[in-house]
Amino acid sequence: MPIARPAGRIPEAAWTSGLREMTEPWKGALGCLGVAVFFAMTIGIISWQALEQSPEEWVLRGRAGGVLWERRRGALLLRALPKGQPVAVIAVGGVPAAEPPPPRDRCWQDGGQFCYAWEEEAELRLSLEPPPAPGTECYGVRWTPLRPDVMLKDCFSMANISWYGGASIRDQHWPFNSADSPAQPFVSGDFGKNPTGYGPVLERYFLGSTGVTVTVAPDVPFVLSLESNQHFCLGSAGVPLQYLLCISSDVATAHRHVGTQLVEPARVLPDTALLGSPIWHYYGPVGSAAKIKRGLRSLTRRLKRHQLQEGVLALGERSTATLAAAEYVSMEQRRQRSSAHAWDPALIDPLQLSITLSPYTSIASPLFLRSLRDNEASYWLSLQPRFGGCLVPLLTTWKGRLCARLNVTSEAALSWYLARAWALRRALGATYVVFEGAEGNTFLEQAMSPPAELAGDRYVGALAAALATLGNATIISAGARSSHLPLFVQMSPQRSDWSHAGLKGIIPSALHYSLLGYNFFIPDAVGGSLAGDAPGDQELYVRWLQIVTFLPVMAFSTPPWLCCDTWVLNLTRQCIQRHRDLVVPLILKYSEEWLRLGYPIFRPAWWLSPTDPTAFTIEDEFLIGDEVLVAPITEKGQTWRDIYLPGEGHQWMDTNTARVFDGGTILRNYSASLEEGDLGMFEMYGSGRDFNGCLRDFLK
């Protein structure tokens, strides 16, 4: 019998079941619709970011330029206004490159700062800084690691920009774009110990052809790496990285405003009498003082015979030590001793004597042993004992010997060392004293953390300041924040070949030294003093001679009569006379400008053509001041070359032919024969100097 149901009423169970059946399809449809909307919104956002949102965002903006964040590469861009062209691209390392552009936070409020922190990585702070001169704008950059293991690394692109300054390198180029060097502390060094390291002259200053400068704070330890034609990188581990970015209208203006202020303005000239005095290095017998005296007497006679009797005879460190052992005695002993055995400067008259010292002493020397016996271990760089006890001298090597190094942080040690140098100079009647071995950080060489007072290149700075008290007839082998001192700087030895470690590196090195303020340098001896591929190469000797004729000091290790034909000896005499009569007065003239303004004396082609890209990479020409251009031959077997004449709107006169050419042009196939000793030399037309007449009379 069927069950009876109430009419017009749907059972509750049937209603629930029907509702479930109706909602399932709608849920699926609504879900699909939501997914579609989500994808549409995602695509829209991506499209908006790709098409509408700029990949660059201003983070700090000044009047002449500003800094942007480039989100695709995670890079800081420095742009010049009003055109907005990039002048520097800095790839940022040590933080997530995919991080979104930094937001405007509390540092944005005053418009002069910007801050952003990558959580648990690093903090970036940018700030507008007071400009060094009108027309230049500067931005302070400070990275602070938030963990001790964070390695900060800012890499400056070399694409479409030439870079100068920084550190000297073994194969010196101008600009240094093509150089390669692994990441290492930015500290001066000895190429003999570390050929891939940095050389004896360096400053925390980098100059770009776009008018940008990078100046690293003096108290910040950092490492530098050079990656050929890609970028150079500043890095630090666990400590802040801080530098100053400045932007100017062009490269020459940038250096005038920023680079000339690397050191204090109280600049002092060294003994300019050395400029006109060729240096003849003595490499004769060194076995005893008697042999050295005989060798010096013989060299003096030969120089007189060849009419080269004026200049300086330079003794190396070993010869100096040998003479010192025989001649250096106390005043009481000297009074008791017959003067017949003393050194007589008349032995080399009319030449002057130069001696060589270093801040090193052999651990087997009586001097070192006596200092330990007299409880004067503090005179040498030493390891500090952890729990009391005696100082332990830090040992290193110098010229193949195990040595200790002078402690320049000790006033007693410096006073003792300078007193010995004074006494030895007087005893030998030396006019000049050369101090080798100033470069390098002994603690870093031994993989030790140096004390704060000797961090970085403070050893060089302290030693240079102390040596300056000996007078302006002092020569030192390194420079770091010491270009204002009255010291000559001895360039590193170069190879006797045609490479950038030899002949081709002379002009780039001269430009590098002068740009950093070290205008009074002594180039390596004519022909190079390191072994090369072609010893006794007469052509190399002549081309080398031509270049150094126009540099501050001419130095010789091999006399021309030992390596070359008679005509080279005659040419040597002519070049020495040309250097004295024409070049030295010009250097003295522009040294006054250096004292007053800090401008380099030896200038690159872009000094007169600061916006011409052709001038940025010229490394085989240089200017003396603004009025003489020197363009020698640096390729083996070549007797002609192209010469770039800088300075659009100026005119140049060829001192060989008296022909006049327009600046801003290239002179093609200029002839420069070897036998005649020719080279490209041009005088700024209308400068008022009668270079042409002097040279014509001189070369007859």
Residue 551 has pLDDT above 60, yes or no: yes
Tokens of 407: 């402690």
Q: What is the 3-state secondary structure (H, E, C) of 412-449?
A: HHHHHHHHHHHHHHHHHCCCEEEECCCCCCHHHHCCCC
Most confident of 234-243, 340-349, 371-380: 234-243
User: pLDDT at position 6, please?
Assistant: 38
Mean pLDDT of 282-292: 89
- The domain locations on the chain are 58-262
The closest of 684, 487, 659 to 603, measured between CA atoms, is 684
Q: What is the 3-state secondary structure (H, E, C) of 624-639?
A: ECCCEEEECCCCCCCC
**Spatial contact of 262 and 203, defined as CB atoms under 8 Å apart:** yes
User: pLDDT at position 56, please?
Assistant: 82
Residue 664 has pLDDT above 90, yes or no: yes
| Residue 528 CA to its chain's centroid (Å) | 21
User: pLDDT at position 436, please?
Assistant: 97
User: pLDDT at position 119, please?
Assistant: 79
Tokens of 517: 């303020």
Sequence-ordered alpha helix ranges (H) in 259-390: 289-305, 317-327, 331-336, 366-373
User: pLDDT at position 28, please?
Assistant: 57
User: pLDDT at position 90, please?
Assistant: 95
Mean pLDDT of 335-341: 50
Residue 264 has pLDDT above 70, yes or no: yes
d(Cα 196, Cα 415) in Å, to the nearest integer? 35
User: pLDDT at position 41, please?
Assistant: 58
Distance from first CA to last CA of the chain, Å, rounded? 147
Tokens of 363: 């651990």
The closest of 244, 292, 247 to 142, measured between CA atoms, is 244
Mean pLDDT of 36-51: 48
Q: Give the torsion sign (CA, 59, 65, 70, 76).
A: negative
User: pLDDT at position 188, please?
Assistant: 96
Residue 39 has pLDDT above 90, yes or no: no
The closest of 252, 427, 404, 460 to 355, measured between CA atoms, is 427
User: pLDDT at position 85, please?
Assistant: 84
3-state secondary structure of 493: coil
Q: For residue 82, give the DSSP letter.
A: T
User: pLDDT at position 345, please?
Assistant: 78
User: pLDDT at position 94, please?
Assistant: 76
Residue 21 has pLDDT above 90, yes or no: no
Please give the C-alpha separations between residue 260 and each of 267, 406, 494, 498, 508, in angstroms, as whole numbers.
Answer: 11, 31, 28, 32, 19
User: pLDDT at position 421, please?
Assistant: 96
Q: How confident is the model at residue 687 (pLDDT cuts 50, 70, 90)?
A: low
d(Cα 132, Cα 257) in Å, to the nearest integer? 6
Q: How confident is the model at residue 109 (pLDDT cuts 50, 70, 90)?
A: low
The closest of 650, 661, 656 to 694, measured between CA atoms, is 656
**Spatial contact of 507 and 621, defined as CB atoms under 8 Å apart:** yes
User: pLDDT at position 16, please?
Assistant: 35
The strand pairing partners of 380, in sequence order, are 406
d(Cα 157, Cα 91) in Å, to the nearest integer? 8
User: pLDDT at position 20, please?
Assistant: 40
d(Cα 623, Cα 481) in Å, to the nearest integer? 24
Question: For the residues of 292-315, what is the DSSP string, one character each?
Answer: HHHHHHHHHHHHHHTT---SEEE-
Residue 13 has pLDDT above 70, yes or no: no
Q: How confident is the model at residue 373 (pLDDT cuts 50, 70, 90)?
A: confident
Residue 333 has pLDDT above 80, yes or no: no
Chain segment 466-524, per-residue pLDDT in tens? 999 999 999 999 999 999 999 999 999 999 999 999 999 999 999 999 999 999 999 99
Residue 336 has pLDDT above 90, yes or no: no
User: pLDDT at position 221, please?
Assistant: 92
The strand pairing partners of 287, in sequence order, are none
Q: How confident is the model at residue 82 (pLDDT cuts 50, 70, 90)?
A: confident
Please give the C-alpha separations between residue 659 and each of 522, 647, 685, 686, in angstroms, as whole numbers.
Answer: 33, 17, 10, 13
Tokens of 147: 């963990």
334 CB-near residues (< 8 Å, 6+ apart): 342
d(Cα 598, Cα 291) in Å, to the nearest integer? 46
Residue type, 201: V
| Topology of the domain covering 58-262 | Immunoglobulin-like (2.60.40)
686: Cα within 13 Å, side-chain hemisphere:
7
Residue 238 has pLDDT above 90, yes or no: no
User: pLDDT at position 680, please?
Assistant: 83
Residue 308 has pLDDT above 60, yes or no: yes
User: pLDDT at position 330, please?
Assistant: 40
User: pLDDT at position 691, please?
Assistant: 45
In the block, tokens 């952890």 appear at 386
d(Cα 696, Cα 700) in Å, to the nearest integer? 6
The strand pairing partners of 391, in sequence order, are none
Tokens of 123: 């903090």
Q: What is the 3-state secondary structure (H, E, C) of 520-563?
A: CEECCCECCCECCCCCCCHHHHHHHHHHHCCCCCCEECCCHHHH
Q: How confident is the model at residue 107 (pLDDT cuts 50, 70, 90)?
A: low
R_g over Cα of the chain: 33
Chain segment 126-166, per-residue pLDDT in tens? 999 999 999 999 999 999 999 888 999 999 999 999 999 99
Pairing of strands 86-93, 151-157: antiparallel
**Spatial contact of 231 and 127, defined as CB atoms under 8 Å apart:** no
Please give the C-alpha separations between residue 397 and each of 93, 250, 403, 437, in angstroms, as whole numbers.
Answer: 36, 45, 5, 11
Percent of the chain with pLDDT over 90: 67
Mean pLDDT, all residues of the chain: 86
Chain segment 167-198, per-residue pLDDT in tens? 999 999 999 999 999 999 999 999 988 999 99
Q: How confident is the model at residue 285 (pLDDT cuts 50, 70, 90)?
A: confident
User: pLDDT at position 437, please?
Assistant: 96
Mean pLDDT of 200-207: 97
Residue 693 has pLDDT above 70, yes or no: no
For residues 38-51, one letter each, b for 16 or more C-beta atoms within 10 angstroms of the residue's C-beta and e for the rest, the string is eeeeeeeeeeeeee
